[in-house]
């Protein structure tokens, strides 16, 4: 019996040691640098898609800021009222009525208040917007101006239903969310913003990052540019191992090992880590079903990092620059390739997506598996921003392609376009979209999703492309 216990104990020590050593080596290999110190002059803004994301991603930062004498404010995009599976586990009953979903959101709001008080914040430091959980990306891409407001599939609500929230009664439209975020930015004037990551697989996390990008550009003449630190929460197969491992480091997902993200780390003290653990447990409605996942972020550090913006110069004709654009020629050095973005596993391959601006059109070239069959389709998102046109009026373009056919949508309507094309080859496909269709933007927020049938199989993060 003693030998068996000794063997188990030795195996556990070796396993933990291996994981810890592997994490440290991985972090060193990734070149993770420490985030710049927080001072008492900092005004920290935490943008959280749902109640619990602020704790999972930034509990250490919050504590460090408060101990340094800095100001901290947390803004919640949604009340998290769409996670019906978690609430069925939590309340042990079906929750299908409209009032029950509002009840879910109120439960999560109260949990957030409790968690933030534990970390040292007061309720007056928290702002709840109350927009639809699992609906904000759809709002960003489709619901603006004179369209009817978005209606949540489960709640069947189309306005903010929470009387305690900042914009009670505001319609579920893009301008409502954008206005709220700009209002917070102008009132608070943060110099450091922590926000959900553009590579996050959760749609609300993507949306909050996109709304922030637009809001900051809208306010660029009224607000000194703050530093923005995205934090990643949802990523397939990450972090591992699951459950609470305070002895381990949190390292970037391996699928980002060749990305251009400049990762930064913040190391938590044992006391900060312990409080983070307690704060996560405040979200009982979530931990009863997902503690193994949420607690896996309770580690020795927190991670932050964003992709750099891609800057594209307008080129000569495609014929003259085609070789360098495709990147296959020995006649040009790497400086002739306008932009290359690593892409892991798109359609089962490891390839690249490249961008160029030619003949007043943006070209997006995607490597693909040879002999790609007709069951695969792609969704290309192109959201342009212009300093001359309000973003509410700018086109919100989506292009859905299947094999060699495609459809173009602006918000909720399919549109006919001139100059748009799709060229399909054995190992690549090339979209060409005139900049005029995008509103002749100064920058574009773009992403691609790949589908097998109706099931998404891969995606690339939203990237910001500046056009000179």
pLDDT in tens, 364-375: 988 876 656 667
Q: Identify the pLDDT of residue 342.
A: 45
SS3 468: coil
Residue 24: is its pLDDT beyond 60? no
Contacts of 252 by beta carbon, 8 Å cutoff, 6+ apart: 26, 30, 32, 232, 261, 263, 303, 305
pLDDT tens digits for 437-454?
999 999 999 999 988 777
Which domain covers residue 453, as residue numbers? Answer: 310-467
Q: What is residue 2's predicted lDDT score, i.e. its pLDDT? A: 34
Domain holding 89: CATH number? 3.40.50.10320
Residue 428: pLDDT above 50? yes
On whether both 243 and 270 belong to a single domain, the answer is yes
273 and 390 part of one domain = no
Task: Identify whether residues 401 and 255 lie together within a single domain.
Answer: no
Co-location of 168 and 277 in the same domain: yes
Instruction: Please provide the average confidence, as pLDDT, over all residues in the chain.
Output: 85
- Segment 297-308 shows an average pLDDT of 96
Higher per-residue confidence, 5 vs 420: 420
Higher-scoring residue by pLDDT: 450, 83? 450
- Greatest mean pLDDT among 144-148, 166-170, 275-279, 352-356: 275-279
* 335 and 209 together in one domain: no
CA of residue 331 relative to chain centroid, distance: 38
- pLDDT value, residue 101: 82
Could you tell me which residue, 140 or 458, shows the higher pLDDT? Answer: 140
Q: How many domains does the chain have?
A: 3
Q: Which pLDDT value is given to residue 451?
A: 83
Residues 6+ apart with CB under 8 A from 353: 340, 341, 343, 346, 364, 365, 366, 367, 448, 460
Report the largest interatomic distance among the alpha carbons of the chain, rounded to a whole angstrom: 78
pLDDT at residue number 320: 39
More confident residue, 14 or 60: 60
Provide the CATH number for the domain around residue 356: 2.60.40
- In a shared domain, residues 300 and 378: no
Co-location of 62 and 6 in the same domain: no
The pLDDT of residue 23 is above 90: no
Name which residue leads in pLDDT, 213 or 236: 213
- Report which DSSP code applies to 339: E
pLDDT digits 0-9 by tens, 215-232: 999 999 999 999 999 999
Cβ 307 vs Cβ 258: under 8 Å: no
pLDDT at 125 over 90: yes
CA distance 240 to 117: 29
The pLDDT, as a whole number, for residue 14 is: 34
- 222 in the same domain as 272: yes
Q: Are residues 6 and 112 in the same domain?
A: no
Distance CA 141, CA 150 (A): 11
Q: Within this chain, do residues 15 and 62 fall inside the same structural domain, yes or no?
A: no
Q: Which is higher by pLDDT, 4 or 207?
A: 207
Which of residues 334 and 171 earns the better pLDDT score? 171
Q: Are residues 49 and 97 in the same domain?
A: yes
> What is the share, in percent, of the chain residues with pLDDT greater than 70?
81
Last residue of a domain, one of 304, 333, 358: 304
Say yes or no: 138 and 238 in one domain: yes
> Do 186 and 222 contact (CB within 8 A), yes or no?
yes
The per-residue pLDDT for range 38-76, each reduced to its tens digit, is 999 999 999 999 999 999 999 999 999 999 999 999 999
Alpha helical stretches, state H, 189-269: 203-218
pLDDT digits (tens, 9 = 90+) for 335-354: 333 454 544 444 444 457 88
The residue from 260, 279, 304 where one domain ends is: 304
Quick: pLDDT tens for 392-402.
999 999 999 98
Comparing 47-51, 253-257, 331-335, 355-359, the range with the smallest average pLDDT is 331-335
pLDDT for position 318: 47
Give the C-alpha separation, 321 to 41, whole Å. 49
Q: Given this model, what pLDDT does residue 29 score?
A: 47
Structure-token match 């749902």, residue found: 50
pTM confidence score: 0.88
The model's confidence at residue 112, banded by pLDDT at 50, 70 and 90, is very high
């Amino acid at each position: 019996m003693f030998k068996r216990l000794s063997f188990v104990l030795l195996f556990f020590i070796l396993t933990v040691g291996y994981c810890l050593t592997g994490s440290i080596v991985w972090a060193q290999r990734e070149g993770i640098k420490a985030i710049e110190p927080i001072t008492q002059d900092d005004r920290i803004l935490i943008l959280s898609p749902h109640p619990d994301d602020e704790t999972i991603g930034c509990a250490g930062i919050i504590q460090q800021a408060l101990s340094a004498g800095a100001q901290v404010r947390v803004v919640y995009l949604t009340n998290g009222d769409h996670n019906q599976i978690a609430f069925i586990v939590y309340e042990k009953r079906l929750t299908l009525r409209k009032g029950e979903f509002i009840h879910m959101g109120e439960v999560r709001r109260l949990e957030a208040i409790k968690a933030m008080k534990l970390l040292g914040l007061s309720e007056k430091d928290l702002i709840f917007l109350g927009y639809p959980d699992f609906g904000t990306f759809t709002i960003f891409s489709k619901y603006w101006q004179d369209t009817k407001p978005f209606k949540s599939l489960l709640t069947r609500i189309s306005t903010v239903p929470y009387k305690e929230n900042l914009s009670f009664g505001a319609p579920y439209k893009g301008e409502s969310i954008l206005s709220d975020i700009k209002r917070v930015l102008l009132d608070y004037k943060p110099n450091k913003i922590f926000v959900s990551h553009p590579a996050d697989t959760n749609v609300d996390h993507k949306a909050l990052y996109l709304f922030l990008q637009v809001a900051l550009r809208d306010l660029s003449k009224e607000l000194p540019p703050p530093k923005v630190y995205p934090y990643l929460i949802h990523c397939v197969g990450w972090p591992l191992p699951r459950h609470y491992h305070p002895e381990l480091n949190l390292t970037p997902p391996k699928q980002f090992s060749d990305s251009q993200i400049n990762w930064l780390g913040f190391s938590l003290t044992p006391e900060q880590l312990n409080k983070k653990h307690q704060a996560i447990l405040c979200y009982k409605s979530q931990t009863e079903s997902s503690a193994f996942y949420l607690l896996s972020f309770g580690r020795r550090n927190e991670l932050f990092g964003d992709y750099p913006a891609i800057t594209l110069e307008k080129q000569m004709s495609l014929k003259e620059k085609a070789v360098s654009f495709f990147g296959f020629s020995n006649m040009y050095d790497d400086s002739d390739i306008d932009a290359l973005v690593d892409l892991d596993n798109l359609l089962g391959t490891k390839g690249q997506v490249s961008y160029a601006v030619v003949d007043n059109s943006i070209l997006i070239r995607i490597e693909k598996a040879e002999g790609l069959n007709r069951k695969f389709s792609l969704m290309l998102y192109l959201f342009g921003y212009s300093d001359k046109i309000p973003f509410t009026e700018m086109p919100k373009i989506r292009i859905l392609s299947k094999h060699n056919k495609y459809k173009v949508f602006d918000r909720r309507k399919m549109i006919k376009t001139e100059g748009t094309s799709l060229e399909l080859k054995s190992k690549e496909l090339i979209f060409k979209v005139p900049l005029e269709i995008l509103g002749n933007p100064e920058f574009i927020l773009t992403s691609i999703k790949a589908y097998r049938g109706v099931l998404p199989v891969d995606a690339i993060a939203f990237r910001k492309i500046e056009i000179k």
